[in-house]
Amino acid sequence: MAVFGRKAKENALKTQVAQRTVYCSQPIASPFRLACCTDMLESGLYDRLRAEVPVIDACFGKIIRLVGDFTVKAEDEAFQRELDRFCREVRVGVSGKSIYTFADMYLDSLLTYGKAVGMIIADQRSRSIKGLAVADSSLYHIKQGRGPLDMEVYFDNGGTNGTKMKVRDPERLLYTALNPSPKHPEGVSLLRGLPAISSVLMRIYQCIGQNFDRVGNVRYAVTYKPTADGDRIFAKERAKEIAAAWSDGMQSAKNGIVKDFVAVGDVDVKVIGAENQIIDTEVPVRQLLEQIAAKLSVPPFLLGLNWSTTERMSAQQADILTSELEYYRRLLTPVLEEVCSAHLRLCGCGGRAQVEWANINLQDEEALAKSRLYNAQAREIELRLEAQENK
């Protein structure tokens, strides 16, 4: 019995090895490849999350638009007109145009995947910038090189063996990471932590739809109860007549014709599911939406969510959003300045370009005007006190 048990274990082990050989024909050879596979799965999850949860996609649209407009100034004013033309007419990808479109696409990729990869496409013949492009950042993977400041970029070329191609000149890429850390040098997506909450939210919405299919779509139960012996003998025929008359009345109602249902005997008509009540989902849905709004730092009133709030609370939420938008501006500024400075160098200008952002909203302009007024009044008081002391 012991020998038989040992052989059985050996056969089971061989079977497991064979199955592993069949299902794992391309084994993962390194932890880096495993990390790349995980990143691709997360990228697909984030795309599906934005497609299935409208609130999240609306938050991204609000953030991108609220980052605001900007102007690019050249140090040498003689090249300002050429720089303005470049910002208006530079091609972006297949269908985009202007550096503002490039900034929107770049920020959208940065928020969704936690990283953004851009490219400056140069024309070797005319020695000018032909256009700009925002690459699919899920295909690029970053890891630390030999030194602490060395960056290695790998590109997923879609090979069957899962290998990654190393980019020779990573400094030519425009790369930005969102909230990088030693553990996540590639950056972290703004949607991190939301898949679990969003799955619960979508499950609630799915249940609401199923409940309305069952209860909201009214269905009737017609019951015929024969009373006398004669009724019981012809119960089948009368049930068919009642069913045919009821079906004819329902079909006529679809065409706008109202027909009354007349029956002889004990006939009972009830609405199926009328006694049941749909579960109130306002509280759990609001709790989940609050978590999403808190993660994305977008005030609920900007999304059309009419929650009870005070004017003071709205002002604090606007201040928090302003700080978030300033952070995104700090991430975009070096990239935009690098693109515009490269164009100026190709035009023969030795100076650099500088990005100047407009105020986020009128509330900021009002606060700025008040602060300048208060500073001017304080300065006037100081001058009066100095004048009195000199006398």
Residues 261 and 163 in one domain: no
3, part of any domain = no
226, part of any domain = yes
Residue 23 in this model has a pLDDT that exceeds 50: no
Q: Which of 66-80, 187-201, 224-238 has the highest mean pLDDT?
A: 66-80
Residues 124 and 257 in one domain: no
Residue 340 in this model has a pLDDT that exceeds 80: yes
Residues 88 and 235 in one domain: no
Residues 239 and 331 in one domain: no
Cite the DSSP H helix spans in 212-348: 229-233, 235-254, 282-296, 311-346
- In the numeric block, the tokens 């090189």 are attached to 145
83 touches 337 (CB < 8 A) = no
**Residue 13 banded pLDDT, cuts 50, 70, 90:** very low
Q: What distance in Å separates the CA atoms of residue 113 and residue 49, rounded to the nearest whole number?
A: 12
Full residue range of the structural domain in which residue 387 is found: 361-391
Q: Which residue has the higher pLDDT, 369 or 292?
A: 292
Give the pLDDT score at 329.
93
Q: Which residues of 275-306 are buried (b: 16+ CB within 10 A; e: fewer)?
A: eeeeeeeeeeeeebbebbbebbbbbbebbeee
Residues 183 and 72 in one domain: yes
Residues 124 and 264 in one domain: no
291, part of any domain = no
8, part of any domain = no
281, part of any domain = no
Residues 308 and 263 in one domain: no
Residues 171 and 48 in one domain: yes
Residues 317 and 168 in one domain: yes
Which of 80-84, 120-124, 133-137, 248-252 has the lowest average pLDDT?
Answer: 248-252
Residues 57 and 116 in one domain: yes
170, part of any domain = yes
352 touches 75 (CB < 8 A) = yes
Residues 151 and 237 in one domain: no
Give the pLDDT score at 360.
74
24, part of any domain = no
Q: What distance in Å separates the CA atoms of residue 67 and residue 329, rounded to the nearest whole number?
A: 7
Q: Which residue has the higher pLDDT, 112 or 233?
A: 112
Cite the DSSP H helix spans in 176-281: 194-211, 229-233, 235-254
- Region 299-316: what's the mean pLDDT? 66
Total domains in the chain come to 3
369, part of any domain = yes
Give the pLDDT score at 85.
92
Average pLDDT value over all residues in the chain: 77
Give the pLDDT score at 354.
92
Dihedral (CA of 171, 177, 180, 184) sign = negative
pTM: 0.67
What single DSSP character describes residue 305?
-
- In the numeric block, the tokens 């012996």 are attached to 229
**Residue 101 banded pLDDT, cuts 50, 70, 90:** very high
Residues 327 and 373 in one domain: no
